[in-house]
Amino acid sequence: MSERRDLVLLDRRDRVAVVTLNRPERRNALSSAMLVALATRLAEADADASVDVVVLTGADPAFCAGLDLAELAAGGHTIRPTDGPPWPSLAKPVIGAVNGPAVTGGLEVALACDFLIASDRATFADTHTRVGVVPFWGLSVRLPQAVGLRRAREMSLTGNFIDADRAAAWGLVNRVVPHHDLLPTALAVAADVVSADQPATRAMVAAYAAFAGGGPDAEAAEVAAADRFLGGGIDPAVIDGRRAAVLARSRQQRGLPSGR
């Protein structure tokens, strides 16, 4: 089945661009085409003089399930267009509105945002070690900055899911709101950012990117480790089986019946 052309949506309203990952039937898993579309949409918003802030969210039920593992297994590095962040740096702030599960690569997408607001349906997990892959978008730098080194290690080494309330308690997200209030809340916070001085806002975004991102050496070390790991090749059947086990484990931890 060919992918739709609207993999990433862009809606402009009151100087805010709402960018939506729009592959709900695959829980917004990031194919190479979707990654290109995401970078293109964000660049479009960043270049638009009528936009001051970006809100990034997902089409329900998930925020982002991570990389499309079937494509990753089949194509190796072709699904990875950038080293470091999942999109090139932007001049304007990006607020993540996490509407559902943000898992592994999806957690890395969330971490690449300037800050996060979560729905009460949101969950977060780093399942790299359970799937049998490693991060290359800065997770080993950004996750410890968000939750602390020991909590980050716990998330990465266990692959366990945390709910939205724990994510807030740990500092991963700024606040948790009822699901139906997520986008209105994100837009209200974006309006606060819009009301500030924009040259100063963009200078602050650049300052945080330069000084709070862990530095090029830390991110380069993660990319080098990923290159060495991926050089050994990936078995699609093994990856697919591990992914199914991760999803089943997530449902069990949340007390949900088994199923897709």
Average pLDDT over residues 128-146: 89
- Give the pLDDT confidence of 59-72 residue by residue, as tens digits: 999 999 998 877 77
Q: Is the dihedral of CA 69, 130, 223, 148 positive or negative?
A: positive
In this model, does residue 228 exceed pLDDT 70? no
Could you identify the residue written with the tokens 């007390």?
A: 255
Could you identify the residue written with the tokens 């992918």?
A: 3
- Give the pLDDT confidence of 121-131 residue by residue, as tens digits: 999 999 999 98
Residue 124: phi and psi, rounded to 5, are -140, 140
Q: Which amino acid is at 195?
A: S
d(CA 85, CA 148): 20
Q: 118: which 2 tokens?
A: 């979560």
- Spatial CB neighbours of 196, under 8 Å, sequence gap ≥ 6: none
User: 135 falls in which pLDDT band (50, 70, 90)?
Assistant: confident
Q: What is the pLDDT of residue 2?
A: 39
- Spatial CB neighbours of 57, under 8 Å, sequence gap ≥ 6: 18, 19, 20, 21, 63, 96, 97, 98, 99, 182, 183, 186
Domain ranges within the chain, ordered by starting residue: 8-179+198-253
Q: What is the pLDDT of residue 113?
A: 96
d(CA 230, CA 246): 20
- Domain 8-179+198-253: give its CATH architecture: Alpha-Beta Complex (3.90)
Q: Is the dihedral of CA 54, 60, 61, 65 positive or negative?
A: negative
- Give the pLDDT confidence of 21-52 residue by residue, as tens digits: 999 999 999 998 999 999 999 999 999 999 99
Spell out the alpha helix ranges (H) of the chain. Answer: 32-47, 69-75, 105-112, 128-131, 139-147, 149-158, 164-170, 182-194, 198-211, 215-230, 236-253
- Give the pLDDT confidence of 87-103 residue by residue, as tens digits: 888 999 999 999 999 99
User: 81 falls in which pLDDT band (50, 70, 90)?
Assistant: very low
Poorest-pLDDT segment among 47-61, 173-187, 220-234, 245-259: 220-234
Q: What is the percentage of the chain residues whose pLDDT exceeds 70?
A: 83
d(CA 179, CA 60): 10
**Where is mean pLDDT largest: 33-42, 69-78, 239-248?**
33-42
Higher model confidence: residue 78 or residue 229?
A: 229
Helix (H, G, I), strand (E, B) or coil at 59: coil
Q: What is the pLDDT of residue 255?
A: 81
Quote the DSSP letter at residue 29.
-
